Chain A
Amino acid sequence: MAHFSEILVSFFIVVGGIFGLVGSFGLVKLPDTMRRLHGPTKATTLGVGGVLIASMLYFLLFEGKLSFHELMITVFLFLTAPVTANFIAKTYMHLKVKPSELPETSTEYGWAGYDDPPVEVTEQSEKK
């Protein structure tokens, strides 16, 4: 049984490690910033996820107690990682991407980084 537990824990560590490695390799291999942004999303989801599952299993199977810190790490990662990615994307677009290279929005207003919001919306938010 202990043998089986060890194999299970190692399996998740290896899976996490592989996806972390592929994510980092993507950073080196992909040619431009927007495409490179896709690497870290892999490393933070399955890469970290695999290690966290392994950690929970280890404490459950070997120490006999449930550990919930891993769940909190997952929650905090899912809250913060998209914000960082969005900031990097926006900064890059401000510096390198022209609005003409992007698809049109579904309404007459352009993308937030290049165009002003509708006037009535700003007035409403100022009143609040």
Chain B
Amino acid sequence: MIRKIFPHPLLSVMLTVVWLLLVNSIALGSIVMGLILGILTPIFSAPFWPNRPKLRNPLMIMEYMAVVLWDIVVANISVAGIVLFKRNQDMRPAWIMVPLELTSPEAITVLAGTITMTPGTVTSMVAADGRSLLVHCLHTDDPDGVRDEIKNRYERRLLEVFS
């Protein structure tokens, strides 16, 4: 019964919080409206996510976000240096293949989005069977090192978050 009303409790909480953030106030009226949205939306959208992955290890999610934000700042500065001070003919762009251990489409989407948002690397394509990612790198002397860093820094943590 409770599963029927709240098929996805986390989504309900998130929708309510997002609504409150959008309204930018915590008046009673907006809380009620947020709760209505948070309860109704998961019920009606349930057919769209039949095999959703379970999130676990909330601490690791926080750690992952912190690592990604830090990497974005560091990579921004180094890529700004490359764009400003490196001549185009000295640049060595490279295609990098990242073999995946993640299997759920949601987890792969998060990893691909993270790779794109950290400057210097853009996810370009996924393999037909979803077992590897194609990443374009702006400038690197060590393609294997970039691949290992993606696997060690991001994928290892995502493996612990998505079961």
Contacts and interface: CB of A to CB of B under 8 A. Distances in A.
A72 B22 contact: yes
A101 to B, nearest CB: 8
Interface residues of A, number: 52
B152 interface: no
B61 interface: no
Interface in B105-150: 112-113, 116-120, 122-132, 134, 136, 138
B37 to A, nearest CB: 15
A14 interface: no
A38 B120 contact: yes
Q: Classify chain B's interface size.
A: 35 or more
Contact of B73 (A31, A46, A67, A85): A46
Chain B binding surface, main DSSP class: mixed
A29 B79 CA distance: 13
B21 A109 contact: no
Given A38-B119, A45-B76, A106 B127 contact: yes
Contact of A118 (B76, B91, B117, B129): B129
A17 interface: no
B116 A68 contact: no
A107 B132 CA distance: 8
A34 B122 CA distance: 9
A107 B116 contact: no
A89 B137 CA distance: 12
Given A46-B72, A106-B131, A85 B122 contact: yes
Given A35-B138, A41-B119, A107 B112 contact: no
B116 A86 contact: yes
Interface string A1-34: 0000000000000000001001001100111001
B93 interface: yes
Given A42-B79, A106-B99, A111 B125 contact: yes
B127 A113 contact: no
A35 B140 CA distance: 12
Contact of B116 (A41, A46, A75): A41
B112 A102 contact: no
Interface of B: 18, 20-22, 24, 50, 72-73, 76, 79-80, 83-84, 88, 91, 93, 95-97, 99-100, 112-113, 116-120, 122-132, 134, 136, 138
Interface of A: 19, 22, 25-26, 29-31, 34-35, 37-39, 41-42, 44-46, 49, 67-69, 71-72, 75, 78-79, 81-83, 85-86, 89-90, 93, 101-107, 109-113, 115-118, 121, 128
